[in-house]
Structure 1
Amino acid sequence: MKVTLVAGARPNFMKIAPIIEAIRQAGAAGQPIEYRLVHTGQHYDKNMSESFFTELGIPEPDANLECGGGTQAEQAANIMVRFEQELFANPTDLVLVVGDVTSTMSCSIAAKKLNIDVAHVEAGIRSGDMTMPEEVNRIVTDSITDLFFTTSEVANTNLRRSGVGEERIHFVGNTMIDTLLKQRPRFVQPAFWSDLGLQPQQYFVLTLHRPANVDDAEGLRTLIDTITQTSRNLPIIFPVHPRTARNLKQFNISAPNLHLVEPMSYLQFNYLVERARAVITDSGGITEETTVMGVPCITLRNSTERPETVTVGTNELIGTDPAALPPYMERLFSNDWKQGGVPELWDGQTAGRIVDILLRTYSSKTQPATTN
């Protein structure tokens, strides 16, 4: 069978890398499966993309659609047009998409318009917050998906409630964790570690990017002030998005223990996370990694599409009001944080399960193919 794999943004790289490896291993063992990797170019920074490809062992994409820039609608339209052309030129049996970025939704739509099956890795997760573009992408993608690969029983339940038949839901685990566990022995100390005199458990990692947290001057100032004032003067390492960096400069927001650093490679960032006292974030994927590494995490959001990181893992969802933060910081310094555990099937073997299911599902529909 022929599988077209789609990656569009940085989080997709970590999710797609183990699937590529599993397909290659299956092909080398004589299984009838091959892949074509398509990078939509939704988020593309040459230096960062090349570092991720090299670090994670991802081959150069077979195609780069170069669809960066524009509004969300413009980007979605460009991706659909160019991905449709890609599918005309390179027919496939299945389009496999991961995550919840614009590329995930757009490529799914283009594939289904051509009557090509779609498999969604990380299907069924929901935040319940329709102001998040990712939530729209998830719902639209799952409404037309054929095979659903899920990370949790919560995701399974969400899909059942929307009318998806049990035979199409496959609880396989989390490919993001496949990558984390494989790469963990290879984490690399960032160059600024020594410059800032960092010591394990004696600093915080901060990531903020959601408009609700970073676009309002007074809101951002109050949030940063609260974080820095409750950190007991420990360094706060903030790998900052360019737009957020501009806001901090424009709003004249700073603190002696707040250290803005450039976005890091995967291996450097996770070295930092693994050794942190805690992570403070408004991201989703980071909460999965902190859960597996046993690092306390505080999420500055009102809802999460990854509730297992709270119910099972080390994450606490505290909302967007900075006033909620101090009690959690006190718990950290009192060594009173919950122990946490690892969710079911987050064991590093997810990609192999996905490829096994693909082979079982499509073996009778396709002719044997050679591997890449």
Structure 2
Amino acid sequence: MGRIVTIIGTRPEIIKMAPVVKALDRLDHDHVLVHSGQHYDLMMDRIFFRDMQLREPDEQFELKEQPPHLQVATTMRQVADATKGADLVIVHGDTNTTVAGALLARKQDRALAHVEAGIRSFDKTMPEEINRIVADQMSDLLFAPTSTSEKNLRQENVTSGVHVVGNSVIDALTQNLPIAEKKSDVLSRLGLRPRGYLVLTFHRAENVDSKEQLSRALDAF
């Protein structure tokens, strides 16, 4: 029986990795779930664990608010004991937790898997783009969501260990849709008609921290 360590740290990772974590828990392996605490509101994270019906992490850390480079360094230091005996380390996506887990696995000579590999914006001013590229270059197993993602990896000479598997967020959606339909009160609470409204979300500091930028985005929409 091998030891698998899955590292997550943000709310999107909780959502997207919930189906993967549940599947890994069913295997005949010692599966350790580690939460880096990259998102600062741990109470809000608990809501996502509850709503996704996901078990609590085996290891829970807190990063507090730090610059990105310190988030990576602190995560590597805190998580090192959990990964040093792993047969496989799994990271997801493009966060500081992702690149910290990937670097740690390589430094400890552990096998590394990257879920959501090969996604590219082709904009290297984005921190996430650097994190994706670094994680992909170091990974032994690369789980690409689409054939386009696989093509992106080939163009970077990453061809070994690549598997096109679809996007786990779709699994999360299908698994949780019946729960959402049963529990949601948004229609009655806001006086909405089914299929008669749109949900629009914004994120990234450069979009939401500037009133002018946010106004331009809303005007464009």
RMSD: 1.7
Q: Distance in 2 between matches of 1:218 and 1:177?
A: 34
Normalised by the length of structure 2, the TM-score is 0.91
2: distance between equivalents of 1:20 and 1:209? 26
Letter of the structure 2 residue corresponding to residue 36 of structure 1: V
Change (3 A) 1:170 1:59: same
Q: 1:186 aligns with which of 149, 173, 179?
A: 179
1:260-290 CA-to-partner distances (Å, cap 9, x unmatched) read xxxxxxxxxxxxxxxxxxxxxxxxxxxxxxx
Change (3 A) 1:45 1:177: same
How far apart, in 1, do the equivalents of 2:168 and 2:20 lie?
Answer: 8
Quick one: distance in 2 between partners of 1:7 and 1:74?
17
1:78 matched residue in structure 2: 74
1:176 match:
169
Distance 2:170 2:23 in 1: 14
- Secondary structure class of the residue paired with 1:61: coil
User: Structure 1 residue 44: deviation in Å?
Assistant: 4.0
| 1:35-54 matches, cutoff 5 A | 35-54=31-50
Map 1:258-297 → 2, pairs under 5 A = none
2:6 pairs with 1:5? yes
Within the candidate set 87, 90, 103, 1:93 is matched to: 87
Distance 1:20 1:216, change over 3 A: closer
Partner amino acid for 2:109? N
Among all aligned residue pairs of Structure 1 and Structure 2, give the percentage whose two residues are the same amino acid: 39
What residue number does 1:352 align with? none
The residue type equivalent to 1:20 in the other structure is V
2:6 counterpart letter in structure 1: L
CA distance in 1, matches of 2:139, 2:216: 42
Structure 1 pair 197–84 and aligned structure 2 pair: CA distance change class (3 A): same
SS at match of 1:26: coil
1:198 alignment counterpart: 192
Letter in 1 for 2:45: S
Provide the C-alpha distance between the structure 2 equivalents of 1:45 and 1:135, rounded to a whole number of angstroms: 25
- Kindly indicate whether structure 1 or structure 2 has the higher relative contact order, using CA contacts under 8 Å at least 6 residues apart: 1
Measure the CA separation in 1 of the matches of 2:119 and 2:47.
29
> Aligned equivalents of 2:90 and 2:170: distance in 1?
18
Deviations 1:129-184 (A, max 9, x none): 1122111110111111111111100111111111123x411111111111111111
Change (3 A) 1:157 1:222: closer
8 Å CA contact 2:91, 2:115 repeated in 1: yes
Q: Which amino acid aligns with 1:111?
A: A
Matched residue of 2:26: which SS? Answer: helix
Is contact 1:23–1:34 with CA below 8 Å preserved after alignment? no
Structure 2, unmatched stretches of 5+, are none
- Does the 8 Å CA contact 1:15/1:176 hold for their aligned counterparts? yes
1:298-337, CA deviations, whole angstroms, 9 ceiling, x for partnerless residues?
xxxxxxxxxxxxxxxxxxxxxxxx2xx4xxxxxxxxxxxx
Question: Within 1, Cα distance between the matches of 2:34 and 2:68?
Answer: 19
Which contiguous aligned blocks of 4+ residues in structure 1 show a shift greater than 4 angstroms? none
TM score, norm. by length of structure 1: 0.56
In the alignment, the residues of structure 1 paired with residue 190 and residue 173 of structure 2 have an alpha-carbon distance, to the nearest angstrom, of 26
2:214 aligned to which of 220, 244, 253: 220
